[in-house]
């Protein structure tokens, strides 16, 4: 169902809407439903699944591992390493442990979860070694701002970065001022986490906004589908919403087919203003 794709720097096409797994695996009573939701998402074309060793301290990876049993070749698998594990003394064991929990022999993409104290060159060297060993196919970063990305590309091997995963949704547009344009100019796609906002009042504000609801009604869609369609409008952003229930998975997949016109995008701009100046990177 999910047909729109984004091209990674090496030419690999991935779905514009994938699946996030933050908080999955933390409630044993929900595990069966979470596994079913992830498998349905793959069936509907959202074959990119994102997880991390940090999520539930490995429990999310275990859920993903169960979900992809028998369908590993159909999945583009992403995980992330803690910054304190990103040095040459810990990176390889962290990767091995993630692979074990996921029940696979390789990751399609391995991300540095955020920038820590380990020198960038050391992490890049380790990532490149993991590629040589076949443990990962490519690597990237997460929560890097524009200056971080510039430094990364000026570090030996940094040009091999496949993506940067950051917070991005209608209510958090700061990256549009300089980070997103920089990524577009350098052909490095953005991966947007929490594209529907992370629960609470902000998510409610987004999904109950009269303009969002009006546009949704015009497309016979749900407000969350409008928000998701907006996040991938540039064809340079991969959105990874989390959905633990099958009805939400289906709605997310259908959002890939929703195309917003210029007038609708302008209406959204009047309510959720694009940034007029450089802003600090939003991080949850």
> With bands split at pLDDT 50, 70 and 90, how would you rate the model's confidence at 199?
low
The size of the chain, in residues, is 284
The number of beta carbons lying within 10 Å of the beta carbon of residue 241 is 25
* 53-79 exposure pattern, b = at least 16 Cβ within 10 A, e = fewer: bbbbebbbbbbbbbbbeeeeeebbbbb
Over residues 28-44, the pLDDT tens digits come to 999 999 999 999 999 99
Q: What are phi and psi for residue 140, nearest 5 degrees?
A: -160, -165
pLDDT of residue 158: 97
Within the chain, what is the greatest distance between any pair of CA atoms?
55
> With bands split at pLDDT 50, 70 and 90, how would you rate the model's confidence at 282?
confident
Q: Over 80: is that where the pLDDT of 122 sits? A: yes
Q: Over 60: is that where the pLDDT of 190 sits? A: yes
What DSSP string describes 60-117?
A: HHHHHHHHTTTTGGG-EEEEEE-GGG-STTTHHHHHHHHHHHHT-S-BSEEEE-S--S
Task: Share the mean pLDDT of the chain.
Answer: 95
Q: How many CA atoms lie within 13 A of 130 on its CB side?
A: 33
pLDDT of residue 102: 98
Q: Over 80: is that where the pLDDT of 206 sits? A: yes
Q: Over 70: is that where the pLDDT of 8 sits? A: yes
Q: Over 80: is that where the pLDDT of 202 sits? A: no
Closest CA to 177 of 187, 188, 168, 165: 168
Least confident piece of the model among 53-57, 81-85, 204-208, 211-215:
204-208
Q: Over 70: is that where the pLDDT of 1 sits? A: no
pLDDT of residue 244: 87
pLDDT of residue 280: 86
What mean pLDDT do residues 222-239 have?
96
Give the domains, in start order, of the chain with CATH numbers. 5-200+225-260 (3.20.20.100)
Question: Judging by DSSP bridges, how do beta strands 5-7 and 13-15 pair with one another?
Answer: antiparallel
Task: Give the N- to C-terminal CA distance of the chain in Å, as an integer.
Answer: 30
State the DSSP code for 35: H
Which two structure tokens, joined as six digits, stand for 180? 């997103």
Tell me what percent of the residues of the chain surpass a pLDDT of 90. 90
> With bands split at pLDDT 50, 70 and 90, how would you rate the model's confidence at 200?
low
Q: Over 60: is that where the pLDDT of 2 sits? A: no
């Amino acid at each position: 169902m999910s047909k729109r794709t984004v091209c990674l720097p090496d030419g690999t096409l991935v779905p514009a809407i994938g699946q996030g797994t933050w908080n999955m695996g933390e409630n044993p009573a929900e595990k069966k439903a979470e596994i079913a939701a992830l498998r349905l998402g793959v069936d509907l074309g959202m074959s990119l699944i994102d997880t991390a060793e940090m999520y539930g301290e490995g429990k999310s990876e275990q859920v993903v591992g169960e979900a992809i049993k028998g369908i590993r070749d159909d999945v583009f698998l992403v995980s992330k390493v803690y910054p304190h594990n990103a040095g040459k003394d810990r990176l390889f064991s962290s990767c091995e442990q993630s692979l074990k929990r996921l029940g696979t022999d390789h990751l399609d993409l391995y991300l540095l979860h955020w920038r820590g104290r380990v020198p960038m060159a050391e992490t890049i060297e380790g990532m490149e070694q993991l590629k040589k060993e076949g443990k990962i196919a490519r690597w990237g970063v997460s929560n890097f701002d524009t200056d971080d990305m510039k430094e990364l590309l000026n570090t030996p091997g940094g040009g091999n970065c496949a993506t940067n995963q950051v917070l991005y949704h209608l209510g958090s547009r700061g990256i549009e001022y300089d980070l997103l344009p920089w990524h577009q100019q350098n052909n490095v796609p953005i991966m947007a986490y929490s594209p529907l906002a992370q629960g609470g009042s902000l998510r409610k504000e987004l999904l109950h906004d009269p303009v969002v609801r009006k546009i949704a009604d015009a497309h016979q869609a749900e407000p969350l589908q409008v928000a998701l369609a907006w996040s991938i409008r540039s064809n340079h952003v991969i959105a990874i919403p989390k959905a633990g229930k099958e009805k939400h998975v289906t709605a997310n997949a259908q959002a890939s087919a929703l195309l917003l016109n210029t007038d609708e995008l302008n209406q959204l701009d009047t309510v959720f203003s694009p940034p007029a100046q450089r802003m600090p990177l939003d991080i949850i």
